[in-house]
Amino acid sequence: MKTWILACRNVLRNGRRSATTLLAMVIGLTAVLLFGGYVRNINYGLQTSYVRYGGHLQIQRSDYFLYGSGDPVSYGIGDYARVIDAVRGDALLRSMVTVVTPQLSVNGIAGNFAEGASRTVFGSGIVVDEQTKMREWDDYGFPNRSGPLALADTPANAAVIGAGVARVLHLCGPLRVPQCRDRPVERDAATHVATPDDLTRLASAEAHTAGGGPNAAAGTHIQLLTSNAYGAPNVAELHVVAAEKQGVKALDDMYVQLHLAQAQRLVYGGGEPRVTSIVVQLRHTADIDRARARLMSVLHGIPGGDALDVLDFATLNPQYGQITGMFNAVFGFIAVLFATVVMFTVGNTMNMAVTERTREIGMLRAIGLRDGGVRRIFVCEGFVLGVCGAALGSVLALLGAAAINHAGLHWVPPGQTDSVALTVRVWGEAAMIGRHALGIVFVATASAWLPARRASRLPIVEALRFS
């Protein structure tokens, strides 16, 4: 106890130097915690986005992830309703799963032949109610701004396209897309292109089969041309109910969303409907490994289940690991940099203290204090400085995070077109705060050890003669 009291008094003996050392530690820890909270927020934000739109896990045919993007039809899951019922009926999975929903990927060409415009698109057939429920997932307290899907309560031939698709097809005006302008096209009567007769007949037949007619829904229409499961072309006339700006421009320029039943009619016609993936969303990301193992066990008990695989969202979205890995590497570099600054600052402070108190050290040694006692005094001083710096740095980081989160700052993440709120997640991250606070205490204590060792080895006679 006397050693600790003496260490605290020695810290206060030169208040200006101790304050300078504390300032370096406080600034370093505050910067590390704020950037760590920023990185944590990016990780959680990316995860939330991927889970809301693609679930935690997806059941797919083996090798679909590697080869299916160019030919999704060949990797359809037959009798998918049995698989969904098996997942929903498992008692263990029922406690972890919130949504199990099928999806069908469709590649094709979307055209607005009245304007002579077309482009390749990537479509997704979904079950609207189940996808709406998926958008409500919020395990990390992010604001849920998605709202109901634009496809909700729409006819069977309805579709939603990306703002980039609307721009290319000259539909910005008819769809009233903000910050989107149709490029004026000048053409004479000789170059005007109407909808080809064969596509018109196919679209009319498809609309009649779907239960509507050419005028089933007034408004903006596009034609979606695909190749069905048998290699023959198929086309549907879709009523575009909205054009939504996607976060990533590459997706925005190809995005088409339609009802699952409509997508299945396009691809499989009157044959057995299939899907390319079954999306599984969990209550908590922490259950992902346990849920995946259980899903594999359930699938192996289903006929044909051995041909299916279960992939997590990180595997399905490689950019997630790339982005989080980059930010974690930058964060680690910054943490090491500040730890080095603190180490040299505390070491310099302790060296100055040893030099100033050489005669005092000699007197303590002369009255019987051993080498270990001298070392403990200086090491305890470093520990006290570290504890004070950790406490003040943690408090300042919490206050700084609150100020940043309420400042209304925004930024545009790499690869996206929309700005998002710039926030840092420090409050509630007790593990992160504790880990780095203990790290600063350890660095300060370790930095005091070498000066303390030098002080303990001073010869008594030379120390007493020092002036």
Q: What is the pLDDT of residues 336-392, one digit of tens each?
A: 988 888 888 888 887 777 666 666 666 666 666 666 666 777 788 888 888 898 999
* Domain extents in the chain: 2-46+321-465, 102-275
What's the confidence (pLDDT) of residue 190? 47
Return the half-sphere exposure (C-beta side, CA atoms, 13 A cut-off) of residue 82: 13
pLDDT category at 397 given cuts 50, 70, 90 is: very high
Is the dihedral angle over the CA atoms 212, 215, 220, 224 positive or is it negative? positive
How does the average pLDDT of the chain come out, rounded? 81
Is there a contact between 280 and 55 (Cβ–Cβ < 8 Å)?
A: yes
Judged against a pLDDT cut of 50, whether residue 166 lies above it is answered with yes
% of the chain at pLDDT higher than 90? 26
Rounded mean pLDDT, 52-59: 92
Judged against a pLDDT cut of 90, whether residue 193 lies above it is answered with no
Question: What pairs with residue 109 in β-bridges?
Answer: 120, 225
Rounded mean pLDDT, 28-37: 92
Identify which has the larger pLDDT, 282 or 304: 282
What's the confidence (pLDDT) of residue 2? 66
What's the confidence (pLDDT) of residue 459? 65
Identify which has the larger pLDDT, 417 or 246: 246
pLDDT category at 449 given cuts 50, 70, 90 is: confident
What's the confidence (pLDDT) of residue 189? 47
Rounded mean pLDDT, 57-66: 90
Rounded mean pLDDT, 92-108: 92
Rounded mean pLDDT, 279-305: 92
Type of residue found at 1? M
| CA 6 to centroid of chain Cα atoms | 50
What's the confidence (pLDDT) of residue 289? 93
% of the chain at pLDDT higher than 70? 80
What's the confidence (pLDDT) of residue 252? 85
Cα 29–Cα 30–Cα 33 angle in degrees, nearest 5: 80
Judged against a pLDDT cut of 80, whether residue 179 lies above it is answered with no
Rounded mean pLDDT, 272-287: 92
Is there a contact between 418 and 454 (Cβ–Cβ < 8 Å)?
A: no
Joined together, the tokens standing for residue 409 give 């700052």
What's the confidence (pLDDT) of residue 302? 87
- pLDDT one-digit tens code per residue, 238-270: 999 988 888 777 888 899 999 999 999 888 887
